[in-house]
Chains A and B, each alone.
Chain A
Amino acid sequence: MSVDSARETLYHRGEADMVATIQNTDVKQEDAHGAVVVAVTSRALFGGDDDDDVSGVGVAFPLLQALQRVNQRLLEKDPAESLLFDVVLITTDSQQQQQSSRIVSSTRHHGLEVSRFCFSSQEDFIESLLTNNVQLFLSTDRNEALQASQQGVLSALLDRQGAPSEQLRVMLCGDAVVRPDAGPAPVSRPAAESFSSRLGEMRRRFGALDSPLSIVLVTSSGDRESCGVALRTLRSRGLGVDEAYCLAGAPRSPILSLLRPHFLLGDGVIGLED
């Protein structure tokens, strides 16, 4: 793809307040209706040690690899599959924006399939999430994730974790799935429900064993009944759960290294260590 033309686009539009999206022509653009669009920030993806020409990878790297593996397995089953993950990289950091070509080439260098690169200011990044129909936004910055969530975009925090798994592991917080006396439903609830349904559909393409993705439910403070309600609720949203842990008040941290989730979905934004 032409990075020069990408740069030109930015300069031409006086990049300070504008949002620019560049398609990566090296990667097949997914069917807009079929794909599950996942956005990740550059800061989350490229946080590691830098080479001269290439950025080192950060916290989001194993996640992207896991998403790609799911896509591969889906396409193995059905080469015409349209229910795939579609990854968008969001860059809001102005320093990183100066190095847009470096971002693109680093992505390629690390073998990552990013279909679109979005460059926007910190103030406007939510606009790029909405225009790109992002169904899940992942960031290492809690404020960013909260902002997006408050605008109705399902968001999750990426935390540094131990040895990541090859299998995509999505953790859901049971206490957040069902809150009987909560006030108005969170703004991101519709997005959460629709994402759950798509994820569930994707999960059903595979059998109980040897699946490239696993749905893990953890109920931290609730009792077995509330875990049961969470299981039923998720099932009604079309999402089957693979592993369920009901802790009834026991701390979650001793088992986080065993659960190895890539991220945690809940109402609002919850960090893995919260």
Chain B
Amino acid sequence: MAPEDPVAMNPAPTPSLRTKISRRFLESLVKIRASLEQPTGGNIQRRARRIKIAAYSSMACAAGSRRAWSRALLAKLRSRAKRRHHSQHQRCLGLKRKRAGSRNMAPYKVSRANELRRLVPGGKAMDLCNLLEETSHFIQCLAAQVKVMQTIVDRCSV
């Protein structure tokens, strides 16, 4: 792990990352669009949820399985899809949040990091060093995903 990795230091998302995301996301959009429904309010909401899932899934796929956060995110999406298909039980996925908070004695860095762990997929199992590393990559991909979606919206709403 070179400390001076120029690619990792670059804040802008690389074009190949956005290309990967765009391709996968657009494929999902075409599929979603193909399932024609009446544009009622409820259907729009349902489709919006499918689009959101497609967004996270295309982002995680584009990131590849080398990253812990993308693996964790893909696993969560898959298990959520399985649950939706196989059973009607809507179990909340934020299961183990009721841990005794270590906010009393922990220094500020650690307690802030705990909040970050909840936001980054798979963050709970990482040590601080990996967490920071994964977070920066996660942010880059998430920002790229937002950029892709914004571009599509801009192009479609001419």
The answer to whether A binds B is no
- A→B interface (CB under 8 Å): none
